[in-house]
Amino acid sequence: MNGNMTSENGQKEEITVFRARLKSARELRGMSQGELAEKAKLPPSSVSHFEGGKRKPSFDNLRKLAGALNVTTDYLLGRTERTEVPREADVLFRNVNKLTEKDRALAEDFIKMLAERKG
């Protein structure tokens, strides 16, 4: 009986951590539940259910949420405190080592321009 209670309590703790991290990451990004749902390509009710603890996300939905929030699935699950996706995993940086110095400088300037533009 003790083993089951520990397992059940462990699952409740995981859900509590996930709910809190999902909500705080969403709020940190200034997103509403609807905006997160749209960005993650999920029904708006799903985000509400996940944050409310009424449902647990599938692996696929967990990945979608993490991608939309630009955090790791491990962060959402409480396995790490690091919120950011490692730079090596970012699609913008995967092929940077294949660029010449001139192309790298051009790409850096372009990324800066995109980051600074309004709209």
* 33-51 tens-digit pLDDT: 999 999 999 999 999 999 9
Which fold does the domain 2-85 belong to in CATH?
434 Repressor (Amino-terminal Domain) (1.10.260)
* 74-93 tens-digit pLDDT: 989 988 877 665 555 556 66
Domain ranges in the chain? 2-85, 87-119
pTM: 0.63
The dihedral region occupied by 17, where left means phi > 0, alpha psi between -120 and 50, and beta the remainder, is: alpha
